[in-house]
Amino acid sequence: MKIYRLHQKQNLPITKQEAWDFLSDPKNLKVITPDYMGFHILSGADRPMFAGQIIQYIVTPVLGIKTKWVTEITHVIDGEYFVDEQRFGPYSLWHHKHFIKEIDGGVEMEDIIDYKIPMGIFGQLVHPILVKPKLKEIFDYRTKKLEELFGKFQSDRQKH
């Protein structure tokens, strides 16, 4: 059983509260997901995030195949981090930790995703040619979109 990890950090020139308000609102997931994925929330996004919240989506990750995805928000520390876990969907395991940390000039957002592909050895074979590049593409889009919405982070060295 192979478990993969995607680990990404992004700095934004906003307050911790602004970052939290945006990221902890499930409706904003559609904003930072590529349009071609056909992301549509079916239920569960009608209130602020809380532990135990179940959110149901429809996504079209590959080849135009619509897939139902059900996640549960399992942990929430207001303003600090939250965890979503897949309960039903395309992965055998999906455990996504979102951290927000204040830094000089803004915030650091960190995503750590541990995931497992179904279909045994076949899943392991398609991971490097299909799954991993698709996840990277989605998170690259997210990085770009967040910069469009909130601006590009400038470190002190870049400002001089």
Residue given tokens 């982070």 in the structure block = 153
Mean pLDDT: which of 8-12, 57-61, 120-124, 131-135 is highest? Answer: 8-12
| Overall average pLDDT of the 100-129 stretch | 94
| Overall average pLDDT of the 83-95 stretch | 96
Contact 126, 133 (CB under 8 A): no
pLDDT, position 159: 53
Alpha carbon distance 106, 155 (integer Å): 9
Tally of CB atoms within 10 A around 22: 18
Q: CA angle 153-131-26, nearest 5°?
A: 55
pLDDT, position 154: 87
Helix (H), strand (E) counts: the chain: 4, 7
Distances (CA, A) of 125 to 90, 116, 132, 148: 16, 12, 11, 35
More confident residue, 157 or 138: 138
Q: What length does the chain have? A: 160
pLDDT of 5 > 70? The answer is: yes
Alpha carbon distance 63, 59 (integer Å): 11
What's the chain's average pLDDT? 92
pLDDT of 97 > 50? The answer is: yes
Question: pTM, whole model, 2 decimals?
Answer: 0.91
Contact 100, 79 (CB under 8 A): yes
Alpha carbon distance 143, 12 (integer Å): 10
Rg (CA), the chain: 16
